Copies of this chain bind each other. A is one copy, B any other.
Amino acid sequence: MSEMQPWGETLRLLVELAATAAFALSGLLEAARKRLDAVGVCVVAFLAAFGGGTLRDLLLDRRPFFWVQHVEVLWGVLGLCVLAMLFLRQPHFELTEKMIQWPDALGLGLFTATGVHLALIDQMPMLVAVMMGLTTGVFGGVLRDMVCNEVPTAFRDHKPYAVCAFAGGWVYVALWQMEAPGWSALLACVLVTAGLRAMALWRNWALPAWRV
């Protein structure tokens, strides 16, 4: 197991990096569509990328934050914003929501797994752990939409998003309870979450409407 540990840590770090970039791009896209200025676009990108994990850390009282420990990620997102600013000005280049749909689905799975994992380490009850996973995965996007003065897409578009994270979170918890190795729980959670999300997008699954 001892030689597995650093590999697992590296994988988790890579996972967070990829997810962070996808989430930052989703913020960039929405901010640009709302005609924010360059500062607004950067801030919304940062909120989308780090908001969920930071909220989780605040709730779990974990310090230092991910982006304090790995400050190079902050520089990376800042660079991403500058690059996007240059590239998006090319008339023949267009960034669309479709392009980030798949990395976003993967990011949702990865962030959820991270959130559940950290909460379980802190000995949180199972439901709380799942909710921390959901918070990590979903609240970056929620903060992004709230700053842009929109009802969060995740709560309104009737497409399964948070529900996928909820299901994936329980998979992680179940495997943890069965004392399965950490990498298998991580993998299963990501596969279930991202898989359900991909199915939902592909088959146009819709959440039931609500009547009052």
Contact = CB atoms under 8 A, between A and B. Distances in A.
Contacts of A174: none
Contacts of A208: 37-38, 85
B85 A210 contact: yes
A134 to B, nearest CB: 9
B147 A152 contact: yes
B149 A149 contact: yes
A131 B75 CA distance: 12
B34 A68 contact: no
Contacts of A147: 142, 146, 151-152, 155
Contacts of A162: 39, 43
A65 B135 CA distance: 16
Contacts of A89: 211
Interface string A3-37: 00000000000000000000000000101111111
A38 B149 contact: no
